[in-house]
Amino acid sequence: MSNLVHRSLMTDPPIAVSGKGIWLREASGHEVIDGSGGAAVACLGHGHPHVLAAMRAQLEKLTYAHTALFSCESAEKLADMLVGHAPGGLTHAYFISSGSEGMEAAIKMARQYFVEIGQPQRKHYIARKQSYHGNTLGALSAGGNAMRRAPYAPILSPAFSHVSACYAYRDRADHESDADYVQRLADELEAEFQRLGPDNVIAFCAETVVGATLGCVAALPGYFPAMRAVCDRHGALMILDEVMSGMGRCGTMHTWEQEGIVPDIQVIAKGLGGGYQPIGGILAQGKVISAIRDGSGGFMHGHTYQAHPMACAAALAVQEVIARDGLLGNVQAMGALLEQRLTERLGNHRNIGDIRGRGLFWAIELVQDRGTKAVFDPKLKMNERVKKEAYARGLGCYPMGGTIDGLQGDHVILAPPYTVTAGEVEMIVERFGDAVEAALAG
């Protein structure tokens, strides 16, 4: 057994030794299509020459400088690229090393904003059930992933409460229209504001497209404007977590661009740096930063590796490639093809309840019976079976159990790089379809 603590302590994973484009190779020589980009991270695939060249250049110039003394060129340029044009009023960026750290920063910045403007009584956050915002204690408190929360429940913050997600496949009643369902969810959020005291709520937190916990679930039309209206009515902020779904993954640079609303604070990570270096961040509205600057004068938060020169250089290069090569257009085109081919291959399968997603961010939900939506016994670990069968066929995918409540339900995610070709999409769907059928037949 390895001396390294792996995700599973029962078996050691294979050793990845090299990666090129959409492919990864393990020590045994087995080659695998990185069909989910790890956890929707590797947006340019592996070994992209422009990114590697930028990292080498930065390595020769500056590898680290503490932000208590210095800024650095790569961080300044990355911020200029992301918010220099003030998308939706987002004017400032803050870079750290992960999505979890990003959510922590967003939580603290939102609280400090209200302290600065003279509303220190605000101390509650409302998030959603079956969501995921990170693994640090603050981020885990915000998240509604019942399975991940369970061992740590006694030490999670009571400042967070949770309302229903917009999960139409299972939660919309047969008699409800989309508009009726959205209104019910808005009423639920309003009721939670009232329970907590409307003037006591700091923010509503949500993933724009729910990632690994629920499996690529996008909100119905009108949902986010309805949630925004509740927040605005009570003077609360909206924090959108686009760690997994943002930075081009769903076909626009920011997924909120498709929703008709703008967040006050946005959390970004995975597609920001594409896995070339650990990096995450938050983008904030000018009013939030102005309140802090004009009040105490500084954000009372910080990390040793924030705005790291190497991480920012890598992320800047990733974003340059996305813009230079027009990759958002490819995400839209190949995403449409991936949806089409998944639907053709698995859309009528008796054990596939739902195929859902946006851009190059897609999931299937596995069911025992398509008509009743009955789930498989969790002991079967059906999602893991699909992962194992896919790996044997040379495809990496991202499985998850507990879709419905942290225990019941299975789904599997595909999230190939933005550079994926039509031929590679065909190969992914062929191998994935074969794996699903083998897992269900086993």
Low-confidence ranges of the chain (pLDDT < 50): none
Between vectors from CA 300 to CA 299 and to CA 304, what angle results, nearest 5°?
95
Q: How far apart are the C-alpha atoms of 374 and 437, rounded to whole Å?
A: 18
State residue 281's pLDDT score. Answer: 98
Please state whether beta strands 201-207 and 124-128 pair in parallel, antiparallel, or not at all (unpaired): parallel
Q: What angle do CA 3, 5, 8 make, to 5 degrees?
A: 120
Q: Which residues contact 380 (CB under 8 A, 6 or more apart)?
A: none
Q: Are the CB atoms for 108 and 237 separated by under 8 Å?
A: no
- The token pair that represents 179 in the structure block: 């508009």
pLDDT of residue 442: 78
Q: What is the pLDDT of residue 181?
A: 98
Give residue 113's pLDDT. 98
Q: How many CA atoms lie within 13 A of 140 on its CB side?
A: 15
Predicted pLDDT at 420: 98
- Among 271, 283, 297, residue whose Cα is nearest residue 51: 271
Supply φ then ψ for residue 43, to 5 degrees.
-70, -20
pLDDT, residue 432, reads 98
State the amino acid at position 398 in one-letter form.
Y
DSSP E strands: which ranges in 345-442? 352-358, 361-366, 395-396, 398-401, 410-414
Give the C-alpha separation, 244 to 131, whole Å: 12
How many Cα atoms are found within 13 Å in the side-chain-facing hemisphere of 176?
Answer: 15
